[in-house]
Amino acid sequence: MTAARRAFTLIELLVVVAIIALLMSILMPSLHRARKQARAVACLSNLKQWSYIWHMYTEDSNGKFNTGGTTGGDAANDWLVILMPYYQDRGKLTICPAATRPMVIPGPFATRAWSWDRQGWGNLKEKETVDIGSYGQNEWICDRSAAEYWRDRNTIKDPANVPLFFDCAYVDVFPTANSGPPAIEGDVSGLNEWALVCMDRHSGYVNYLFADLSTRKVGLKELWTFKWTRTFNTSNAWTTAGGVRPDDWPAWMRAFKDY
């Protein structure tokens, strides 16, 4: 005669459930961090692919960058249009894995993608009517006549310090040295261009492609140290060289690394 199989008692079941719950509480934060890190790595991989695209475009244009979109609504020379012959995977390559959903005002914008209805930008012939993305261009790099613009990749003296293409809440951005970060992350209600790029998308960092076509993660406070324009002061009031104090930063940024 074999002994009858003993069933679990209620106490034993509760102990097992408690152990599983404890293990989940320990593992979930690690899994969440791993997911965020994986998204950041995938985002940087996207930007590496964009480096090849920008290389091909500037090779074909003798080093000249695009002229960019205009406030008048003509987007024919905006990067999203001008680079189309160089890439095909429009559904994924324009989107950071950490920011896939179109933004809704108010934010949060760090985890949101911009949406662009091309029909509202002018006489565009592409069949698609809407594009969604999470990256933007430094519009100061464009081929325009004003002194601030870089215009030509071949004439940039320190291209590793000049942002080209990066995590962004809009298709392009015009940062200036005399303005600081948004008081509230994702607050784009005013005219602060920094709010479009200064956002906690990758745990205190964002990913950048520079004019030398290198890619790396960038600290949020580091953004003010880059040479965004030909005349940009890299020792401005928001850098350690310019004397920024910890309390000068908005509360949501104070714990981030200083530069």
Q: What's the confidence (pLDDT) of residue 11?
A: 79
The CA distances from residue 150 to 66, 68, 159, 162, in Å, are 11, 12, 10, 9
Which band of pLDDT confidence, cut at 50, 70 and 90, is reported for residue 112?
Answer: low
Q: What's the confidence (pLDDT) of residue 185?
A: 85
Domain membership of residue 121 (yes or no) is yes
User: Could you tell me if 169 and 114 are in contact, meaning their C-beta atoms sit under 8 angstroms apart?
Assistant: yes
Q: Give the pTM.
A: 0.81
Q: What's the confidence (pLDDT) of residue 129?
A: 42
Domain membership of residue 118 (yes or no) is yes
Domain membership of residue 35 (yes or no) is yes
Q: What's the confidence (pLDDT) of residue 21?
A: 79
CA separation for the pair 200, 6 (Å, rounded): 54
Domain membership of residue 79 (yes or no) is yes
Domain membership of residue 38 (yes or no) is yes
β-pair partners for 172: 137
Domain membership of residue 149 (yes or no) is yes
CA separation for the pair 187, 192 (Å, rounded): 9
- Side by side, which strands form the sheet with 205-210? 172-173, 135-138, 163-167, 205-210, 215-219
Give mean pLDDT, residues 112-125. Answer: 48
Q: What's the confidence (pLDDT) of residue 190?
A: 67
Domain membership of residue 55 (yes or no) is yes
Which band of pLDDT confidence, cut at 50, 70 and 90, is reported for residue 123?
Answer: very low
Domain span including residue 36: 30-253
Q: Which residue has the higher pLDDT, 172 or 88?
A: 172
**Structurally, how many domains does the chain consist of?**
1
Q: Which amino acid is at 164?
A: L
Which band of pLDDT confidence, cut at 50, 70 and 90, is reported for residue 118?
Answer: very low
Q: Which of 9-23, 24-38, 136-150 has the highest mean pLDDT?
A: 136-150
Which band of pLDDT confidence, cut at 50, 70 and 90, is reported for residue 62?
Answer: very high
Domain membership of residue 12 (yes or no) is no
Q: Which residue has the higher pLDDT, 27 or 141?
A: 141
CA separation for the pair 207, 165 (Å, rounded): 9
pLDDT tens digits for range 159-191: 999 999 999 988 899 999 999 999 988 777 667
What token pair was written down for 89?
A: 């995977």
